Amino acid sequence: MSTWDRFVETFFNAKVMLKYYPDILSGMVVTIELAVLIVVSGLLAGLALALLRALAIRPLNWLIIFVVDLFRSLPPLVIIVLIYFGLPAAGLSPSGFVSTWLSLAFVLMAFSEEIFWAGITSIPRGQWEASRSTGLSFWQTLINVVLPQALRLTIPPLTNRTIAITKGTALGTVVAVTEILGQASSAMSNSYNPSPLMMGAAAYIVLFLPVVVAARWIETKFAWKR
């Protein structure tokens, strides 16, 4: 057997791949579920915090800034481990799935709050004053005048950050979530063969590469023309 044959036999073993591809597929479903939950809840929570911050209530803003700073400085894996292994001591036992979801949603919330807030503050005061003087309320001004302009600004940094955090779903494998990497790792140790891992790697590329390419396109479309 030539070296090449042995390489293929080891890393792309047809028999092993045939046996374990359903596991990888079910891992992909879990990864997609986690990713969608994280993106939706993280971005909504981030936007909600940014809107609350616009109310300019001093103690509330300090609290928001502290929470945001906290989740920006802690590594996501530390947050996952903290929730998964720490909360049971307080009587709560979130599953690995829930721990990963909550952790990454908090991280995305923190980053997106900063981006949304920067977008909101970048709208000149004059626009607020003009809208309010035409009789719009605070919330009407925020939602109808400021936010549409602010959101456009935030799209390029937001897409990048969202992809980077969503990739973190792979961290769930540390707390026994059966997403792609978890499935691939256990299939590898059951079959003593790295082919499932190669399939898992391919699955990530299939899921995330289109998103990265789309993000590149979005970045150029919404880029600031100077």
Partner 1 sequence: MIETFLNPEIIAAIWPIVLAGLWNTVLLSLIVVPLGLMGGLMLALLATIHHPLVRWPLMAWVDFFRAFPPLVLLVLLFAGLPFAGLELGGFACVAIAFFLNTGAYYGEILRAGIESVPTGQVEAGRSTGLSRLQAMTHIVLPQAVRNVLPDLLSNTLEVVKLTSLGSVVAVPELLFQARQAQSVTYSPTPIVLAAIVYFLLLWPLVRLLSRLENRALAGRR
The closest of 99, 105, 118 to 39, measured between CA atoms, is: 105
Q: Kindly state whether residue 185 participates in binding partner 1, applying the rule CB under 8 A.
A: yes
Q: What is the residue whose two structure tokens read 């996501």?
A: 76
Amino acid at 66: F
Choice between 10 and 137, CB closer to partner 1 = 10
Exactly one of 27, 42, 46, 168 binds partner 1 (CB under 8 A); that residue is: 168
Exactly one of 25, 60, 124, 140 binds partner 1 (CB under 8 A); that residue is: 124
Q: Which two tokens stand for residue 141?
A: 């001004």
Measure the CA–CA gap between 193 and 197, rounded to whole angstroms.
8
Q: Kindly state whether residue 169 participates in binding partner 1, applying the rule CB under 8 A.
A: yes
C-alpha separations of 18 from 14, 191, 194, 205 in Å:
6, 12, 13, 19
The closest of 35, 30, 17, 9 to 199, measured between CA atoms, is: 17
Q: Kindly state whether residue 191 participates in binding partner 1, applying the rule CB under 8 A.
A: no
Stretch that binds partner 1, among 20-28, 44-52, 70-78, 96-104 (CB under 8 A): 70-78
Q: Kindly state whether residue 128 participates in binding partner 1, applying the rule CB under 8 A.
A: no
Measure the CA–CA gap between 147 and 62, rounded to whole angstroms.
22
Three-state DSSP at 128 gives helix
Tell me how far apart the terminal alpha carbons of the chain are, to the nearest angstrom: 61
Give the CA radius of gyration of the chain: 22
Choice between 19 and 167, CB closer to partner 1 = 167
- How far apart are CB 225 and partner 1 at their closest, in Å? 11
Q: Which two tokens stand for residue 182?
A: 């978890």
Exactly one of 32, 155, 211, 218 binds partner 1 (CB under 8 A); that residue is: 211
Exactly one of 44, 98, 155, 174 binds partner 1 (CB under 8 A); that residue is: 174
Exactly one of 171, 175, 187, 199 binds partner 1 (CB under 8 A); that residue is: 171
- How far apart are CB 132 and partner 1 at their closest, in Å? 19
Q: Kindly state whether residue 23 participates in binding partner 1, applying the rule CB under 8 A.
A: no
Q: Which two tokens stand for residue 12?
A: 């792309």
Please report, as ranges, the residues that interact with partner 1 according to CB under 8 A.
Answer: 7, 10-11, 68-70, 72-79, 81-82, 85-86, 89-90, 114, 117-119, 121-124, 153, 163-164, 167-171, 173-174, 180-181, 185, 188, 193-194, 197-198, 200-201, 204-205, 208-209, 211-213, 216, 224, 226
